[in-house]
Amino acid sequence: MKTSKLEKSYRIVNGKHFRLKEHDPADTGPFHSQGDAQHQLQRDIVRLRELAEMLYAQDRWSLLLILQGMDAAGKDGTINHVMSGVNPQSCQVHPFKQPSNDELQHDFLWRATTHLPERGHIGIFNRSYYEEVLIVRVHSRILDCERLPPELITKTIWKERYEDFCSLERHLARNGTVIRKFFLHVSKKEQKARFLARLDEPEKHWKFSAADIRERQYWDDYQNAYEEMIQATTTEFAPWYVIPADNKWFTHLAVAAAVVETLEELNLSYPKVNAAKRKELEAARKELEN
C-alpha cells in the first residue's frame, strides 16, 4: 500500500463540509491489526529520518507539526513513536500548558511564535495556540485572565481568532514553513479506558490529573469546538488531518504517513558541491593522507 493513499484519507480538504460525527475514532483504514501495519510504520520511520536529514542539510524549509486532541488522545506517544528515528538536533518539541504570567503580558499568539522552528528543522507543538478556541471557549472565564480590554471581548472573538490563526499560517507558509495540523480523534469510551489504565499502572500515575476527569463533563462542548475550529481553519497551506486515535498503533502509522508525504512533496536534496568546494575537499584528503 502506498503511503500517499493513507495520508490523503484523513486530510480535510474542504472545512465547510466537515462533520466530526462522520469520522470513526476506531477506524484503521486497510489494516486489520498492529502486526499488519508494523512493516509500513517502520518503513516510514526510516524514510522520515532520511528526509529530515535532507531538510536539515538543505536549510531552506522548516516543518511545523501541530497536535491537538482530548486528554489521553495519545499526543505524547505519537511524537515519541513517529519521531523516534529523527536526529534530535534537527527536531524541537514544545508542549503548551497553562500560560505563564509573562506570556499573559503579550498577545495570545506571542508564546507560540517564539517557538517556531528555524529553517532546516522540524518543530512540534504538543497543543498550541489552538487552545485559545478550545479550552478558552469551553471555559470562557479564562478570557478574564488574558487581560484583554473588555470592549474587545465580543461575540465575534472566536471568528476573529480563527482569522488570526489563518493569517499567521499563511505568513509562515509564504516564508518557507510548511504546516500540518493533526486532530487525534479519540472516543469518550476509549478515553475512559486510558484513564483507568493510568490508575491501574503505578508508572502512569504521574500522567493522571483529577482535572482531566472533570473535563469529561464538557465532552460535547469540546467536540463542537473542535468541529467548528477545523471547519474554519483548514486551508490548502495548513490543512487539518483528523486521525482516528482509538488504536494507538494506527494513529502512529497515519501521522507518520502524512509527515513523510509532506516532506516528499518538497523535493528535498543534499546541497550540491561546486568546483571550489570539491577542490577544497580534495586538498583536505591529501593533507589527511600525508
DSSP 21-71: GGS-TT--TT--SHHHHHHHHHHHHHHHHHHHHHHHHH-S-EEEEEEEEST
Categorize the per-residue pLDDT at 130 as very low, low, confident or very high, splitting at 50, 70 and 90.
Answer: very high
Q: What is the pLDDT of residue 121?
A: 98
Q: Identify any residues that bridge with 227 across adjacent strands, giving them in sequence order.
A: none
How many C-beta neighbours within 10 Å does residue 65 have? 26
Q: What is the pLDDT of residue 7?
A: 66
Q: Alpha-carbon distance 226 to 185, whole Å? A: 10
Mean pLDDT score of the chain: 93
Q: Which domain holds residue 267?
A: 3-289
pLDDT over 90 (residue 8):
no
pLDDT per residue as tens digits for the range 159-183:
999 999 999 999 999 999 999 999 9
Q: Can you give the CATH number for the domain in which 93 is found? A: 3.40.50.300
Give the number of residues written for the chain: 290
Task: For residue 14, give the 3-state DSSP assignment.
Answer: coil
Categorize the per-residue pLDDT at 4 as very low, low, confident or very high, splitting at 50, 70 and 90.
Answer: low
Cβ neighbours of residue 134 closer than 8 Å, sequence gap 6 or more: 68, 222, 225, 226, 229
pLDDT over 50 (residue 39):
yes
pLDDT over 50 (residue 1):
no
pLDDT over 90 (residue 211):
no
Closest CA to 266 of 89, 58, 87, 115: 58
How many C-beta neighbours within 10 Å does residue 226 have? 22
Q: What is the pLDDT of residue 2?
A: 45
- Inter-residue contact 63 to 240 (CB < 8 Å): no
Task: For residue 261, give the 3-state DSSP assignment.
Answer: helix
Q: What is the pLDDT of residue 278?
A: 82
Q: What is the pLDDT of residue 275?
A: 83
Whole-model pTM: value is 0.93
pLDDT per residue as tens digits for the range 40-73:
999 999 999 999 999 999 999 999 999 999 999 9
Q: What is the pLDDT of residue 78?
A: 98
Q: Burial code of 115-141, b = ≥16 C-beta within 10 A, e = fewer? A: bbbeebbbbbbbbbbbbbbbbbbbeee
Pairing of strands 177-185, 122-126: unpaired
| Domain count across the chain | 1
- Inter-residue contact 178 to 64 (CB < 8 Å): yes
